[in-house]
Amino acid sequence: MLTSIHPKLPMRNKSVTKDYYINQLGFEQFGGDYDGYLMMQKDNIQIHFFEFKELDPKENYGQVYIRTNDIDTFYQWLLDNKIAIHPNGHLELKPWKQKEFSLLDPDNNLLTFGQDA
């Protein structure tokens, strides 16, 4: 019955979030332009954002785990485009048999990308 999931993360500033996901991660806007709400997509995933202007990024624990089928190429593309990788989240093989790396978006939402090793 369930077909997909679209995580919903907080954002302080729609234009900053939109710029990061489009111009740095290669997403595109999905759907219409709504006040206080943003939907982004890339390949087969969507991430939705709701406005939370009072969000303290140091206290934001928004997280999403995104599966990929070519993590090495995507990771290298990010490096080539000088996209900041989380200081503790560089590409590595984890004990749970996943190759993973992480990014932090402008609101401190943790984006972890993973692929079966």
pTM of the model: 0.94
**Cα-based torsion angle of the residue sequence 92, 97, 103, 109 in order, rounded to the nearest 10 degrees:** -150
- Are 23 and 36 in contact by the 8 Å Cβ rule? The answer is no
| Residues 65-92: tens digit of each pLDDT | 999 999 999 999 999 999 999 999 999 9
Per-residue pLDDT of 35-45, as tens digits, reads 999 999 999 99
